[in-house]
Copies of this chain bind each other. A is one copy, B any other.
Amino acid sequence: MSGGEKPLADAIEAALIPLEHLTVHRDGNVIVARTSLNRSQRVALAGHIDTVPVAGNLPSRVEDGLLHGCGSADMKAGVAVQLKLAATVTAPAMDTTYVFYDCEEVEAERNGLFRLSRTTPELLAADFAILLEPTGGVVEGGCQGSLRAEVRAVGERAHSARSWMGRNAVHEAGRILDLLRRYEPREPEVDGLAFHEGLNAVGISGGVASNVIPDECVVTVNYRFAPDRSADQATEHVRQVFGEWEVTITDLAGGARPGLARPAAASFVAAIGGTPRAKLGWTDVARFDALGIPAVNFGPGNPSLAHTRGEHVALAAIGECEAKMSAWLGRR
């Protein structure tokens, strides 16, 4: 899906261009639509339009008020809210910037919001930002960082009928997996919210031919780290854990501290209600955080269902989120 967003970006652009209160910008498959009402404050509402790969969960279907399907929770529901607000809240209390971007579910370098934050940060300028990632309808503060690395076991090739002449790199990789099974993740509290780390293999690959002892096996690991640890500290930690093997960092995105005490975030939390909690998944609040823009996550859908075969979202939750956002945005 990531990388194939053009038809979606085309459709979003076509839907927004007729709206007279919005100025629409396009950059690749990123669409930015802004009001220009000279309000004293500006809020950015952002959502990504890609999903993880389909897992036998398309076509989507509605059943008993639930919308089932790949990406339903992460985050077509949030994007639907964005579109509805863009079309209906024509005179918001704050100037509003709607951001629809591509390639969030893949390596950070391809992320459309990251690209804009480097090339045209003025398009993203705001006093406060909300990512409409699935949060179960409550405000989720900050986010965990994400590091990906390849951990490489090496060996020596031989004919598999004389395996003792070589060294089996796949067998050796078993020691890497043993270490991952034994790993105890941290669960630190940061700015009053409880985070929960994880270090996991997300892929493994090795093998030359079916009669050859393999001389290389690569385990791809993903470290999700709490925002009390910097990207550099996370790198150091992973290198330490896998000290015995060659480690190549392939993707790294720092987290964001919750920072809910900042005025803009606090006012939004007060308006929405509920008890904020930590965002465990990495989201682009970290991107806004890096631009100096306070940001939180708030959107329909259960975050635990994201990236699962059984992904779904309640239609009522989408409506409820839209109603709350609409009331807050429209309020003077």
Residues of A within 8 A of B (CB): 52-53, 55, 74, 105-107, 144, 146, 148, 157-166, 168, 170-171, 173-174, 176-178, 180-181, 196, 198, 200-214, 217, 219-220, 222, 224, 251, 280-282, 303-304, 306-309
B217 and A204: CB pair below 8 A?
yes
Q: When A53-B209, A158-B307, A307-B158 are in contact, do A170 and B282 touch as well, CB less than 8 Å?
A: no
B170 and A209: CB pair below 8 A?
no
Q: Considering the complex of A and B, which 10 residue pairs feature the smallest CB-CB distances, nearest first?
A: A203-B207, A174-B177, A161-B281, A170-B201, A159-B307, A163-B198, A160-B222, A163-B200, A161-B280, A161-B224
Rounded to whole angstroms, the CA-CA distance of A88 and B156 in the bound complex is: 41
Rounded to whole angstroms, the CA-CA distance of A171 and B210 in the bound complex is: 23
B177 and A146: CB pair below 8 A?
no
Copies of this chain, complex-wide, total: 2
Shortest Cβ distance from A207 into B: residue? B203
Q: Which residues of B contact A177 (CB under 8 A)?
A: 170-171, 173-174, 177
Highest count of chain B CB atoms <10 Å: which of A181, A201, A206: A201
Picked from B55, B106, B198, B217, the residue with its CB within 8 Å of the CB of A160 is B198
Q: Which residues of B contact A209 (CB under 8 A)?
A: 52-53, 105, 202, 307
